[in-house]
Amino acid sequence: MRYFFHGQLTRSSILLWVMLAVLGIFAIRLFYLQVIQYEYYVAKAQDIQVQPLTIQPTRGELYGLDGDDIVPIVLNEKVYTVVADPVSIKKPETVASKLRTIIGGDLVKDFESLLRDDSKKIRYAVLARNISRTQAEMIKKESLVGIGLQQTNRRVYPEGQLAAQTLGYVNSEGMGQYGIEEALHERLKGKPGMLQTVTDVSNIPLTIGKDDINTPAVDGDDIVLTIDRRIQMRAEEILKTGLEKAKATKGSIVVMNPTTGAVQAMANYPSYDPAAYNKVEDYAVFQNNVVSTPYETGSVIKALTMGAGLDSGAVTVNSTFPDGTGCTQVDDRKICNVEEDPRSATATMLDTLRYSLNTGVVHIAKQMGGGSVNRKARDTLYHYYHDQYRFGQLTGIEQAGEAKGIIIAPDQPEGNNVRYANMTFGQGMDLTMIQTATAFSAEINGGTYYQPRVVAGIRQPDGTLTKKDPIVVKQNIISQSASEQARDMIWQGRKTGFFGKFDRPGYKIGGKTGTSQVIDQTTGTYSDHNSIGSYLGFGGVIKPEYVIMVKVEDSRAGGYEGTTAAGPIFNDMSNWMIDHLHLQPSNSN
C-alpha cells in the first residue's frame, strides 16, 4: 500500500507538471500574440475589416460671359455605367434581352460575348456608358444578378458646338482632352476624398467612430472664361459665311481686348460637337489652330516691322526711300514688290503700309544696319521680333497644344541676311495667330504686352465671379510715342487704301492684309497654286477697343487671299463689334 500510494503521487505530480507546462506555453503564446505581436495583428485586422473608399470629386464646370452676366457653357449631368460580373450571370441570354430592351443600341459591340465569358476569368466588364437615371432605375427594378451600376458625370453643352476647340472635351476615362479641358485638367478635376472605415462583407461602411478617416473630396474649380457668348457666336457665323463666299474650306478667327489680353472669341472652321467627340473621324478638327498651328503670316507683319523701325529710330513717320524699280537687292537676292508700283520713284513709310511694299520694310531693316541688311540689322530685328514681340515663345494662354513657332536666331547659319529681309514681310518665320494678334495688341495699346488669356476668373458657389487680373508680361516693348505713330499709320494705311470705303465714318479702323505662300511638301519650295490669306486689325474711336485676326486657307476666290478672303471677314466682324460695344462715332475721325 505504501508503495502504491507513493506511485500515485508520482504520476499526479508528473501530470500536474505537464499541465503547468502546457498552461505556461499557452500563457507565453498569448503574451507573444497579445503583447509582442499586438501592433501586427491590429494592422492585419484593419487590412481585412477597414476599407479605404475613394470619394470622387465633381469636375468643375465652365462658364462664359454675356456682357457682364455669367452663362453656362459646359455643365455636368449624372449618368450611369452598366457593369457586369460574367461569372455570376446564369442566364446571359435573358439578361442581355432585358438590358437591350431598356438601353437600346447603346450596348458595347461584344456585349453578349462578355456575358457568356467561357473562360470565367473576367470578373468585371463594362456593358454600357452614359445611360440616364431613368434607365438606371429600370435596370435596378429588374434585380439582375451580376449586373451593377456606377454613377458618373458627363459633360453637357447648353450652347451646343459653341467654342468647341477652345473648350476641348472630357473622354470616357475622365481625362480632359484639348482646349481648356486639357490645359486646366488638374484644376477642373478636383481632388478625391477618402472614407476609411470598417465595412461588412459587402463592403458597406459601418459607423464605429474612432477608426473612421473621412477626408472630404475637393470639387474642381468652376471656371469662367473670357469668351463672350454673343461675340463667339457671331464670330463663328461670320467665319463660316465668309469661307463659303471665298470658296474656302478652312479658316480661323480670334477677337481680343488689346488692353487686357482677354480673348473674347476664338473660332475655327470646320468644327465639331464636343458632346459627340467619339464620332469625329478627322482628329485634326480637335486642334485649336489659333494657338496650335504656326504659319508664315505674310504681310500682316509689316505693321509690326513698322513699329520696330519707329521705336529703334531706323525710320520716322516722314522717312522716304527710292522705289523706282519696285525691287531692292540683299546680297545675291533681288526682293521685289508683289505688284507694280503705282506711285512715283520715291515712297513713304505710309506708302509701305498702304500699298504693302516689300521694299519699304526691307528699307527699314537696312536702316537698322546703317544702310544694309547685316548682322547689326539682324540683331536689331531679332531683338524686336523675339524679345519684344515674343515670337518663337509660348504665350501661356490656357490652351492645350500651344505651339511656340519658329524664328531663326541671327547667329544661326540659316539666320542670314536674305532670311531676315524676308522676315520683315512675314516670310521665313512661323507664327501662331495668338502670338501675332497679341504682339499687335501690344504695339497699338501703348507698348504693354499682356499675356493672352481665356480665363476670366472663378465662379463662386453663390454665383459671383472672382476675377483674374490681367497679366503684364512686359512693358514698353515699343515706346508710347512709337505705338501712337504706328497705330495712326496703320489706320491711315487702311483708310486711304482699298478697305477704307467699308468703314463707317467716325471710327478708327486700322489693319493690314497678308497673303503668304505655302510650302509644297513634294518640292520643298513655295507653291504657285496655294496660299493663306490673313487680315490683322483693330477698331475703336479714341483708343483701340478690339483686335481681330482672320486666317483663310485654300481660298478659290481669286486674287490675293488677304484681300479677297480674309479682309471681308474682318470687315463684317469689325462693324458688328462697333454695334455690339455701343461705340459712339467721333467727328474728328
The pLDDT of residue 169 is 97
The pLDDT of residue 524 is 59
pLDDT-based confidence at residue 201 (cuts at 50, 70, 90): very low
Task: Decide: 369 and 260 in contact? Cβ < 8 Å.
Answer: no
Query: 365-374: per-residue pLDDT in tens?
Result: 999 999 999 9
| Look-up of cell digits 463666299 | 245
Handedness of CA 208, 210, 211, 217 (dihedral sign): positive
Task: Using the predicted structure, report yes or no on whether residue 145 has a pLDDT greater than 90.
Answer: no
CA angle (260 as vertex; 256, 264 as ends), nearest 5: 30
Task: Using the predicted structure, report yes or no on whether residue 435 has a pLDDT greater than 50.
Answer: yes
The pLDDT of residue 114 is 67
Cα 409 to Cα 386: distance, rounded to the nearest angstrom: 9
Domains along the sequence of the chain with CATH: 54-221 (3.90.1310.10), 228-580 (3.40.710.10)
Strand 176-177, strand 147-156: pairing: unpaired
Average pLDDT over all residues of the chain:
88
504: left (phi over 0), alpha (psi -120 to 50) or beta: beta
Cα 98 to Cα 55: distance, rounded to the nearest angstrom: 31
pLDDT-based confidence at residue 525 (cuts at 50, 70, 90): low
pLDDT-based confidence at residue 43 (cuts at 50, 70, 90): low
The pLDDT of residue 2 is 46
The pLDDT of residue 102 is 86
Query: 415-425: per-residue pLDDT in tens?
Result: 999 999 999 99
Stated length of the chain = 589
- Point out which residues pair with 195 in neighbouring strands: 53, 214
Task: Decide: 177 and 168 in contact? Cβ < 8 Å.
Answer: yes
The pLDDT of residue 90 is 80
The pLDDT of residue 146 is 82
| Look-up of cell digits 482672320 | 550
Percent of the chain with pLDDT over 70: 85
The pLDDT of residue 225 is 98
Measuring CA to CA, which residue among 384, 380, 367, 353 is closest to residue 512? 353
Cα 24 to Cα 513: distance, rounded to the nearest angstrom: 100
Task: Using the predicted structure, report yes or no on whether residue 47 has a pLDDT greater than 70.
Answer: no
Residue 414 half-sphere exposure, CB side, CA atoms within 13 Å? 7
Cα 404 to Cα 299: distance, rounded to the nearest angstrom: 20
- If one compares 159 and 105, the residue with the highest pLDDT of the two is 159
pLDDT-based confidence at residue 202 (cuts at 50, 70, 90): very low
33-38: Cβ within 8 A, 24+ apart: none
Query: 161-192: per-residue pLDDT in tens?
Result: 999 999 999 998 899 999 999 999 999 999 98
Task: Using the predicted structure, report yes or no on whether residue 350 has a pLDDT greater than 70.
Answer: yes
529-553 average pLDDT score: 94
Q: Where is mean pLDDT largest: 134-143, 319-328, 436-445?
A: 436-445
The pLDDT of residue 560 is 83
Task: Decide: 274 and 162 in contact? Cβ < 8 Å.
Answer: no
Residues 6+ apart with CB under 8 A from 320: 346, 347, 348, 349
Write out the DSSP string of 281-304. S-GGGGS-HHHH--B--GGGHHHH
Residue 465 backbone dihedrals phi, psi, to 5 degrees: -110, 125
456-485 average pLDDT score: 96
The pLDDT of residue 117 is 61
Instruction: Give the largest Cα separation in the chain, rounded.
Output: 153
Task: Using the predicted structure, report yes or no on whether residue 401 has a pLDDT greater than 80.
Answer: yes
Amino acid at 109: K
501-507 average pLDDT score: 93
pLDDT-based confidence at residue 204 (cuts at 50, 70, 90): very low
CA angle (477 as vertex; 309, 571 as ends), nearest 5: 75
Query: 205-249: per-residue pLDDT in tens?
Result: 445 455 566 788 899 999 999 999 999 999 999 999 999 999 999
| Look-up of cell digits 500515485 | 8
Measuring CA to CA, which residue among 127, 190, 101, 98 is closest to residue 153? 190
Q: How far is CA 362 from CA 366, 417, 514, in A?
A: 6, 11, 16
Query: 297-314: per-residue pLDDT in tens?
Result: 999 999 999 999 999 999
Cα 410 to Cα 416: distance, rounded to the nearest angstrom: 7
- If one compares 554 and 315, the residue with the highest pLDDT of the two is 315
Task: Decide: 158 and 73 in contact? Cβ < 8 Å.
Answer: yes
The pLDDT of residue 119 is 52
The pLDDT of residue 200 is 47
The pLDDT of residue 341 is 55
Query: 94-134: per-residue pLDDT in tens?
Result: 888 888 888 876 555 566 666 666 555 666 777 888 888 88
